[in-house]
């Protein structure tokens, strides 16, 4: 259950569950900043450690402090965010253990320097090995979070168009391959959603309120998707939804859930005002001989029809013969949604 508008559970793909904002407020951007700072701080710390060793002077007091890993900004940051889901991930746990191992040995060797005792070559080499391991782990994680930040929309937490096309192309190629293999999968459907009268919301209430609406809409849409579905921030007030294994009937059933999730309950703004918001949807299915670009264009045409048909509705793409696109699977269940509360 969510704690506020726009922070509903992550049910679909297209919103990175391991890198978005966690329940303790840590985001991919927070992690990236922390890792950048940790690497920089550690280089400075080790520089002071080596200076004491080479110049045969007393190490600085913080280097000799007990629980050395807690004497650094990174160590304290890890401790203060220990319950954050992102820090509970195996890669982050391994990084923190690697950091503690390096710092504890560095502390032990610093005490020997302080006591004017020699450092055995084997122990110095072990410290360098631990240092290399920590830096390598931190850099790999930093690069992963940097990639996540570049592919996530900071407002909604959804994936952006940068990540979208790669994932859509893979799903588009997978659909006919699965059908040929006799897996029982149906067509791939792609939908575009657009918040109705969004410009009026911005003009009347301001862009901050518009941002709140987009966050809440993204959260409500996510909470009504099947686990296999993906949703992306397509641009402005538009979202793209990828629905694998869905003909026109199943796709429309899923999209009707999304439409109702937004229309049936007003969005509460931070100002205390509540605002009724709706969205229009256009959907098209991948038919033999169509390209991904054509399917997206057809979904856009269907969205245009939904807008001109009165808004707050779902419209399927219609061919030249006027028949709606895709196979009729309306009787089949749009499986995967458990009817859970979005908490908004």
Exposure b/e, 225-246, CB count within 10 A at least 16 = b: bbeebbbbbbeebbbbbbbbbb
Six token digits for residue 341:
């509360």
275 phi/psi in degrees, rounded to 5: -130, 130
Task: Give the DSSP H/E element, type plus range, for residue 233.
Answer: strand 230-235
Which is it for the CA torsion 232, 13, 245, 167, positive or negative?
positive
Rounded Cα gap, residues 145 and 229, in angstroms: 23
Rounded Cα gap, residues 274 and 89, in angstroms: 37
* Strand ranges in 47-188 using DSSP code E only, listed in sequence order: none
H helices present in 152-197, as ranges: 161-180
The residues carrying an active-site annotation are: 237
Task: Give the DSSP H/E element, type plus range, for residue 241.
Answer: strand 238-243
**Are the C-beta atoms of residues 257 and 224 closer than 8 Å to each other?**
yes
The residue with tokens 């937490």 is 157
Helix (H/G/I), strand (E/B), else coil: 157? coil
Rounded Cα gap, residues 94 and 203, in angstroms: 49
């Amino acid at each position: 259950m969510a704690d506020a508008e726009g922070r509903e559970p992550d049910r679909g793909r297209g919103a990175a569950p391991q890198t978005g904002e966690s329940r303790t407020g840590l985001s991919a951007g927070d992690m990236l900043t922390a890792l950048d700072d940790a690497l920089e701080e550690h280089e400075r710390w080790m520089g002071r450690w080596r200076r004491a060793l080479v110049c045969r002077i007393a190490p600085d007091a913080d280097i000799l402090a007990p629980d050395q890993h807690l004497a650094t900004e990174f160590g304290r940051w890890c401790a203060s965010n220990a319950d954050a889901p992102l820090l509970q991930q195996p890669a982050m746990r391994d990084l923190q253990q690697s950091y503690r191992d390096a710092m504890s040995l560095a502390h032990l060797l610093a005490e020997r320097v302080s006591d004017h005792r020699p450092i055995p070559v084997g122990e110095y080499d072990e410290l360098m090995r631990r240092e290399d391991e920590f830096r390598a782990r931190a850099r790999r994680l930093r690069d992963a979070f940097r990639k996540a930040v570049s592919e996530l929309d900071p407002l909604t937490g959804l994936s952006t168009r940068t990540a979208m096309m790669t994932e859509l192309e893979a799903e588009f190629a997978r659909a006919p391959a699965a059908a040929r293999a006799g897996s029982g999968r149906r067509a791939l459907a792609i939908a575009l959603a657009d918040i109705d009268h969004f410009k009026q919301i911005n003009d009347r209430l301001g862009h901050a309120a518009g941002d709140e609406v987009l966050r809440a809409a993204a959260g409500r849409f996510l909470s009504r998707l099947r686990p296999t579905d993906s949703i992306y921030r397509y641009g402005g007030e538009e979202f793209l939804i990828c629905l694998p294994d869905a003909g026109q009937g199943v796709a429309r059933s899923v999209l009707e859930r999304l439409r109702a999730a937004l229309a049936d309950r007003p969005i509460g703004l931070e100002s205390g005002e509540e605002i009724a918001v709706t969205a229009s949807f256009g959907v098209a299915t991948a038919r033999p001989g169509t390209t991904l670009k054509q399917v997206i264009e057809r979904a856009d045409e269907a969205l245009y029809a939904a807008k001109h048909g009165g808004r707050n509705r779902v419209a399927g793409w219609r061919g030249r013969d006027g028949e709606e696109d895709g196979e009729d699977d309306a009787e089949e269940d749009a499986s995967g949604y458990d009817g859970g509360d979005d908490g908004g």
